[in-house]
Amino acid sequence: MKLKYTLITLFLALMGSGVMAQTPNPELPELSWLSGYWTSSENGNTVEELWTHGSGYMMLGLHRDVYANGRSSFEFIRIMRTREGIVYVANPNGAPGTTFTMKEVSGQKVVFENLEHDFPQRIIYSRAGDELTARIEDKSGEKGMEWTWTKTKLE
Is 153 a residue whose pLDDT tops 80? yes
Is 43 a residue whose pLDDT tops 90? yes
pLDDT tens by residue, 65-105: 999 999 999 999 999 999 999 999 999 998 999 999 999 99
pTM of this prediction exceeds 0.95: no
What is the reported pLDDT for 155? 77
- Name the residue with higher pLDDT: 72 or 154: 72
Residue spans per domain, the chain: 2-152
Give the range among 11-20, 87-96, 111-120 with minimum mean pLDDT: 11-20
Using CA of residue 114, residue 115, residue 120, residue 123, what is the dihedral sign?
positive
Instruction: Find the radius of gyration of the CA atoms of the chain.
Output: 20
- The verdict on domain 2-152 having CATH code 2.40.128.20 is yes
Q: How far is CA 12 from CA 2, 3, 16, 22, 24, in A?
A: 15, 14, 6, 14, 19
pLDDT tens by residue, 17-29: 444 446 789 999 9
Nearest to 40 by CA among 70, 63, 61, 60: 63
